[in-house]
Homo-oligomer: A and B are copies of this chain.
Amino acid sequence: MKILKNLLGFVPGNLSLYKMAFRHKSVATFLKDRAKNSNERLEFLGDAVLGSVVAEVLFKIYPYKDEGFLTEMRSKIVSRVNLNQLARKLGFNELVEFDPKSVNVTSKQSSLLGDAFEALIGAVYLDKGYDFTKEFLSQRIIKPHVDIHTLELTETNFKSKLIEWCQRHSKDISFEPIPNEVGENLKLFTIQVLIDGEAMASGVDYSKKNAEKFAAEKTCELLGI
């Protein structure tokens, strides 16, 4: 309770919501139908509210950046890796209830802490409303803990990542332009990734470089790289 109040900076209203936010599915019980008293439904809600708040923060910080830039910045901020780190820094490992026999919380793959962070946002939203949650996230989380300008500079270079992966697995990779169809905007480039001749994801943008980047990013995601 003390940790929670310190973490939030306000007195929570509906405590049972916050308790649920910290309850991992490994210790949850079924309520009715397929619903559990775990944090997963709150995580669904919190993820959406977080996405919306971060979208607005970026929209206002960067009035002259296009939607591609904004989307990329948001992905960096709300990435699993980033949310897990953030939740760990905020002391979530002392707050989340889980079954240590079925979950390895120290594993890099584990998103238990980041998921609980999103669930907490869902709880704050239901307890206090959108404007309060926005203020809480901006002032208490983003401002002190998220270095937006550093994230702006950390470029995730999906193209080189993908090329390296193909080299390691002895696969041929190429980035092929796809001609525009009739009626399509002629200024747009479509680039398709081929691996060993097999079509992977494609990307579209006004610059060829960005189209390649998007195609590489989607292919990385697809291959789980």
Contacts and interface: CB of A to CB of B under 8 A. Distances in A.
Contact of A130 (B43, B45, B131, B183): B131
Give the contact-size bracket for chain A: 35 or more
Interface stretch (A64-72, A84-92, A139-147, A151-159): A64-72
A54 B47 CA distance: 12
Total copies of the chain = 2
A40 B67 contact: yes
B45 A59 contact: yes
A41 B59 CA distance: 8
Given A102-B185, A185-B102, A48 B52 contact: yes
A107 B184 CA distance: 10
Contact of A66 (B36, B185, B199): B36
Contact of A183 (B65, B107, B200): B107
